[in-house]
């Protein structure tokens, strides 16, 4: 008896060789439970709601803490799966993959978990008191433009360690503590190694710092981000045919970037922003920035209030592409909110490092896998006779709609799989509709 719709079973089998037979069943159980379980995604509730794997919760816990399966291999296979499903649709300008990176704070009150400490809360929510005690996660995923709407497919999550629980890195002189930028760069390089293609990373203004920009530039990764409103730059120094006496100049005239809109002629273009084509007025220029030894491209966008200052570490990208890419950054925030809500990203209650690290990355896996299927195969075709709840308005790729069809399909399998095919069909259909309305 199958509890995944028949049309998506081949996509489940794509990952079968990453596990042994017994562990593969637990993997399917987590994949089913993350989206179908309507409650908090604790191990007890996932184990209790799974209709095809009747194992004690200790077995589910052992799958996370002790079972021998490689998370790196699974993530690599997931990248291959995404690339095979979308092919050239993932490529931006025909040669780059676009990735979004962001961080998220998880309130954790357990004292035994590694990495739990006090973090400054940047959300501006006064009810939190300015600080959160818990975990700090860094996430990165691929961005795809589907039906004129950018969607983020989260692939890798990594715990960011602070001063009280530092992580370490190897240097030429020995071992040193890894700061926030070292750990963020490691997240980007991990994805670059898995995709094996040119990569553009889109990040918010917090990541537009010299260590992060230079680190990505040295590895051939392009960064698109936002600068502070008071940022200044310098013109490039033209090469002189005849060298003058004294020390050569490294920078030209100082430029206040926010004032470029009143100095340079405005350019106009139609840009895809948040699913709509909009007219955008902007100026662009190549400048030098403090502590960055190479020229970057700055795009200043005219808005109703303060100008929007964007930075790109590559001077070859067009200004229109830079604006569109930064507008696509919001999709990773949407993906994080969806994982925190319907998928239980912050519901882990494991104490060992490997357990909660595997749990969080399995949530990322489930989010990407289910979202990819909903984009490639219409959800309405997963189950014959699927009836969504009429009083709930949901998009065709939402996790709420996926939950409805998965639970209805499971109920149909449990009740009608062994009944005669033609035995009082009209009565069975009425009963099916009455039962499905309760799911």
Do the domain assignments include residue 242?
A: no
CATH code at 254? 3.90.350.10
Residues 153, 22 share a domain: no
pLDDT by residue (tens digit) across 236-262?
Answer: 887 666 666 777 777 888 999 999 999
Sequence-separated contacts (24+) of 116-121 with Cβ below 8 Å: 116/165, 117/162, 117/163, 117/164, 117/165, 119/162
Based on the fold, state whether residues 104 and 220 are members of the same structural domain. Answer: yes
CA-wise closest residue to 397 among 325, 327, 342:
342
Question: What is the token pair recorded at 328?
Answer: 């696509």
CA dist 215 and 207 (Å) reads 11
Top-confidence residue, 437 or 311:
311
Tell me the whole-structure pTM to 2 decimals: 0.90
In a domain, 47, yes or no: yes
Average pLDDT over every residue of 266-282: 87
Q: How many residues does the chain have?
A: 439
Q: What is the mean pLDDT of residues 416-434?
A: 56
> Count of CB atoms within 10 A of residue 305's CB?
5
Cα–Cα distance measured from residue 186 to residue 178, given in angstroms and rounded to the nearest whole number:
10
387 contacts 433 by C-beta, under 8 angstroms: yes
- Using DSSP's 3-state secondary structure scheme, residue 60 falls into helix
**Residue 67 reports pLDDT greater than 80:** yes
Local confidence band at 422 (pLDDT 50, 70, 90 cut-offs): very low
Residue 114 has pLDDT above 70, yes or no: yes
- Residue 390's pLDDT is 67
One domain for residues 311 and 425 = no
Nearest to 95 by CA among 316, 324, 369: 316
The answer to whether residue 392 scores a pLDDT higher than 80 is: no
| Chosen domain end from 319, 340, 361 | 340
When divided into structural domains, the chain yields a total of 2
Structure token digits, residue 237: 């120094």
Task: Render 200-216 in DSSP notation, one character per residue.
Answer: EEE--GGG-SHHHHHHH
Question: pLDDT tens digits for 182-240?
Answer: 999 999 999 999 998 899 999 999 999 999 999 999 999 999 999 999 999 999 887 66
Residue 356 belongs to what domain range?
6-70+350-369+378-436
Q: Are residues 204 and 292 in the same domain?
A: yes
pLDDT confidence bin for 51, thresholds 50/70/90: confident
- Give the lowest-confidence range in 92-101, 120-129, 327-336, 338-347: 120-129
Q: Which residue has the higher pLDDT, 122 or 291?
A: 291
Note the maximum CA span of the chain. 100
Q: Are 190 and 215 part of one and the same domain?
A: yes
Per DSSP, 288 falls in state B
Q: Is residue 191 part of a domain?
A: yes
CA 52, distance to chain mean position in Å, is 30
């Amino acid at each position: 008896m199958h509890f995944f719709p028949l049309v998506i079973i081949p996509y489940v089998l794509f990952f079968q060789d990453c596990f042994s037979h017994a562990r593969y069943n637990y993997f399917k159980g987590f994949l089913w439970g993350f989206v179908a379980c309507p409650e908090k995604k604790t191990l007890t509730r996932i184990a209790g709601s799974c209709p095809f794997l009747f194992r004690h919760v200790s077995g589910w816990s052992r799958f996370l803490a002790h079972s021998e399966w490689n998370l790196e291999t699974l993530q690599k296979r997931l990248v291959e799966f995404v690339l095979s499903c979308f092919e050239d649709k993932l490529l931006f300008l025909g040669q780059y993959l676009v990735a979004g990176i962001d961080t998220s704070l998880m309130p954790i009150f357990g004292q035994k978990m590694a990495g739990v400490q006090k973090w400054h809360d940047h959300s501006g929510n006064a009810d939190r008191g300015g600080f959160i005690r818990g975990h700090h996660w860094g996430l990165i995923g691929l961005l795809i433009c589907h039906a004129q709407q950018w969607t983020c497919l989260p692939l890798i999550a990594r715990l960011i360690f602070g001063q009280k629980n530092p992580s370490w890195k190897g240097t030429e002189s020995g071992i040193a503590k890894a700061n926030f930028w070292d750990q963020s760069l490691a997240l980007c390089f991990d994805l670059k190694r898995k995709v094996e293609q040119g990569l553009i990373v889109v990040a918010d203004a917090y990541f537009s710092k010299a260590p992060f920009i230079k680190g990505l530039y040295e590895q051939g990764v392009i960064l698109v981000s936002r600068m502070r409103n008071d940022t200044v730059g310098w013109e490039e120094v033209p090469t002189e045919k005849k060298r003058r006496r004294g020390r050569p100049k490294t920078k030209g005239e100082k430029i206040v970037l926010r004032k470029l809109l009143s100095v340079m002629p405005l350019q106009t273009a139609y840009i895809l922003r948040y699913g709509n084509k909009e007219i955008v007025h902007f100026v662009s220029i190549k400048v030098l920035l403090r502590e960055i030894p190479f020229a970057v491209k700055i795009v200043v966008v005219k808005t109703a209030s303060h100008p929007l200052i964007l930075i790109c570490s590559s001077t070859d990208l067009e200004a229109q592409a830079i604006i569109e890419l930064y507008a696509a950054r919001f999709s990773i925030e949407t993906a994080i909110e969806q994982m925190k809500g319907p998928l239980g990203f912050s519901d882990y209650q494991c104490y060992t490092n490997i357990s909660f690290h595997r749990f969080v990355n399995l949530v990322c896996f489930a989010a990407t896998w289910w979202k990819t299927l909903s984009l490639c195969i219409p959800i309405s075709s997963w189950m014959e006779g699927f009836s969504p709840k009429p009083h709930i308005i949901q998009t065709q790729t939402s996790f709420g709609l996926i939950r409805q069809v998965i639970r209805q399909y499971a109920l149909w399998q449990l009740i009608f799989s062994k009944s005669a095919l033609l035995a009082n069909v009209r009565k069975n259909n009425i009963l099916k509709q009455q039962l499905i309305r309760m799911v």
